[in-house]
């Protein structure tokens, strides 16, 4: 009798436990499903953020990463396409919650916004016409015409070169176009973006130089007013590193693992 009662009690307990676990999970999901994360990007920076041929879907390493981060945090991700130099002002104004845009963590930006833990190691490289034999490294840009994207680390670095004629454009696509049109001697841009352009565009008249100017870390930027969100993002990033999702996304876009 006592044994029977015990078995019955345990069965009842287990049923209640299952119910609580099930309910809790579902309720949480439904509530979280309504939270929206407004993400600012400058979607002209393949393979990090760009639009498919129809100009609809946002794709790229950053896009997959932020969607995975959002999922981890229980947010629906909403992408807003802005000019690169408008991203930090949009964060400061509260028009977007976060920005992921191959954005380099640096002191100047850290005065205005907070950055997540670094999520990608990058640097700057040069692209020139294939038959260019007078530019081999950064010092050779002295006195030359160089195209860069407005508001980027490339723009800042190139401006440090003596007598350089810097031409600033709204997107990296525009800088490549200017090089093709022979309006400039070189383009300075983030190395993975330069490499991807050469690989994907079928452009055979240009080459990327092996000389790397800087070592830069990309971070997700968050308003200084939103410390809590920053913590959530870092926790999510850590989780994605642990569960293999980060490596999966990395391999999808770069063909190798991050290690």
- List contacts with ligand ARG (CB under 6 A): 42, 44-45, 49, 84, 101-104, 149, 152-153, 172, 190, 216
Burial class (CB in 10 A: 0-12, 13-18, 19+), 193: buried
Report the residue number, 132 or 151, with the smaller CB distance to ligand ARG. 151
Q: Cβ of residue 215: shortest distance to ligand ARG, in angstroms?
A: 12
Report the residue number, 45 or 58, with the smaller CB distance to ligand ARG. 45
What is the radius of gyration, based on Cα positions, of the chain?
24
Q: Cβ of residue 62: shortest distance to ligand ARG, in angstroms?
A: 8
Q: Cβ of residue 12: shortest distance to ligand ARG, in angstroms?
A: 57
Q: Cβ of residue 33: shortest distance to ligand ARG, in angstroms?
A: 28
Whole-angstrom CA distances from 66 to 95, 117, 172, 178, 193 are 17, 13, 21, 31, 18
Q: Cβ of residue 43: shortest distance to ligand ARG, in angstroms?
A: 7
CB neighbourhood size of 252 (10 A): 11
Q: Cβ of residue 151: shortest distance to ligand ARG, in angstroms?
A: 7
Report the residue number, 149 or 223, with the smaller CB distance to ligand ARG. 149
């Amino acid at each position: 009798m006592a044994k029977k009662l015990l078995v019955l009690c345990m069965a009842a307990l287990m049923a209640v436990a299952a119910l609580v676990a099930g309910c809790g999970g579902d309720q949480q999901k439904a509530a979280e499903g309504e939270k929206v994360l407004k993400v600012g990007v400058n979607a002209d920076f393949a393979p990090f953020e760009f639009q498919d041929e129809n100009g609809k879907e946002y794709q790229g390493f950053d896009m997959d990463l932020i969607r995975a981060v959002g999922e981890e945090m229980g947010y629906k991700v909403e992408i807003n396409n802005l000019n690169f130099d408008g991203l930090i002002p949009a964060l400061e104004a509260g028009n977007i919650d976060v920005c992921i845009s191959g954005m380099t963590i640096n002191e100047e930006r850290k005065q205005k916004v907070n950055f997540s833990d670094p999520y990608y190691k990058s640097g700057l490289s040069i692209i020139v016409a294939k038959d260019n034999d007078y530019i081999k490294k950064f010092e050779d840009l002295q006195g030359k015409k160089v195209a860069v994207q407005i508001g980027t680390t490339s723009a800042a670095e190139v401006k440090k070169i003596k007598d350089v004629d810097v031409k600033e454009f709204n997107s990296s696509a525009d800088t490549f176009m200017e090089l093709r049109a022979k309006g400039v001697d070189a383009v300075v841009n983030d190395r993975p973006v330069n490499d991807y352009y050469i690989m994907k565009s079928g452009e055979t008249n240009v080459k990327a130089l092996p000389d790397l100017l800087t070592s830069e870390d990309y971070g997700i930027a968050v308003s200084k007013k939103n410390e809590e969100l920053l913590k959530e993002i870092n926790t999510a990033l850590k989780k994605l590193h642990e569960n293999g999702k980060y490596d999966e996304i990395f391999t999808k876009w770069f063909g190798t693992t991050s290690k």
